[in-house]
Amino acid sequence: MARILLTGATGYIASHTWLALAAAGFDVVGVDNFSNSSPLVLDRLAELGGFQPVFVEADVTDKAAMDTIFDQHAIDAVVHFAAFKAVGESTQIPLAYYRNNIGGLVNVAQSMQDHGVTKLVFSSSATVYGQPETLPITENSPLAATSPYGTTKLMGEELLRELERCTPAWKVAYLRYFNPVGAHPSGRIGEDPRGIPNNLMPYVTQVAVGKRPFLQVFGGDYATPDGTGVRDYIHVMDLAEGHVAAVRHLLDRNASVTVNLGTGQGYSVLDVIKAFEQASGRTIAHQIVARRPGDVAECYADPSRAKAELGWSATRGLPEMCADSWRWQSGNPQGFA
Ligand code: WQD
């Protein structure tokens, strides 16, 4: 069976993808430097997957380390998750984001090319659409970066598209994630942000376990049904399955593809709070405060191309996203502590 290298392998989306790839029969090799994840994830993957993870601790910006991995493992394709991903943080340390996200991508691609590997799944983001002019967002919607983080995703796509034009052997699947939430139904792996969560769902789950006193709702005066921000939340298990479909597309059809990975359904912050309270039985104390700079009112996908090109669509709804998030957080109040 084909062997897939996952970079950023012990991270939130990658760890769930690891399980999905293994369940689909792929051999997987993981690499991570644990800069934003815990080695404990490997134990949980062994527990959940019934396999001993093949893993290398390394930094994707370390060319020698990446070359050693390709020397030691016959890799057929790479799923490149490894990147810093906090929008606000990226405005504080842009050069670190460029070095890690762009430098790391170029390094991984160079190691791949030096070892004859030219099939790559690139972890992109709806952030490449900037402030959407029309909704739902299609893959032909205008692209614009609105933060250094967004710049690294947009430039990452542009560098890879140019590489494909220069070297046609390269085939890339560009996966633009909307808002990943949820956790493996076992509750044994899930999102474990360091410090104060930037994103809505981990903040909500930390309020639910009593780690945070209340949630600040950033803005109640948007032109949306209830005035709060609307986003396209997608279950991380659906997202993981989308990556399996993308790997299969590259290996079986040897063709590039760019797709939105979203549900096509937008939910407001207050919708999420209500759904989470119903799923958890907990009350989420919250206070509507000023808008967060850089936020858009609404953002949700047209996911039809992923269905047409990959034969994939999301199947899990908001109640399941909330129930699985709660099971993870309530079972691991301190995350992977
Ligand atoms: C969702 C909604 C907030 C926190 C970001 C990145 C994107 C991707 C996903 C990496 C918004 C509101 C949030 C809180 C709140 N990351 N909110 N209180 O901003 O849509 O997307 O994360 O790829 O690139 O931009 O996600 O979860 O931060 O916000 O009211 O404490 O929840 O205003 O309406 P966002 P988010």
Q: How far is the CA of 327 from the centre of ligand 1 (A)?
A: 21
Domains along the sequence of the chain with CATH:
3-182+232-263+300-315 (3.40.50.720)
- pLDDT, tens digit (0-9, with 9 covering 90-100), for 35-66: 999 999 999 999 999 999 999 999 999 999 99
Report, as residue numbers or ranges, the catalytic residues: 149
What is the Cα–Cα distance from 3 to 29, expressed in whole angstroms? 7
- pLDDT, tens digit (0-9, with 9 covering 90-100), for 283-300: 999 999 999 998 999 999
Close Cβ partners of 194 (under 8 Å, ≥ 6 residues apart): 36
Q: How far is the CA of 114 from the centre of ligand 1 (A)?
A: 38
Name the residue with the closest Cα to ligand 1, atom 11: 229
Q: Give the pLDDT score at 252.
A: 98
* Interface pTM, i.e. ipTM: 0.98
Handedness of CA 135, 139, 144, 148 (dihedral sign): positive
- pLDDT, tens digit (0-9, with 9 covering 90-100), for 212-239: 999 999 999 999 999 999 999 999 999 9
Question: In the chain, what are the helix, strand and coil shares in percent, each to the nearest 5?
Answer: 40, 20, 40
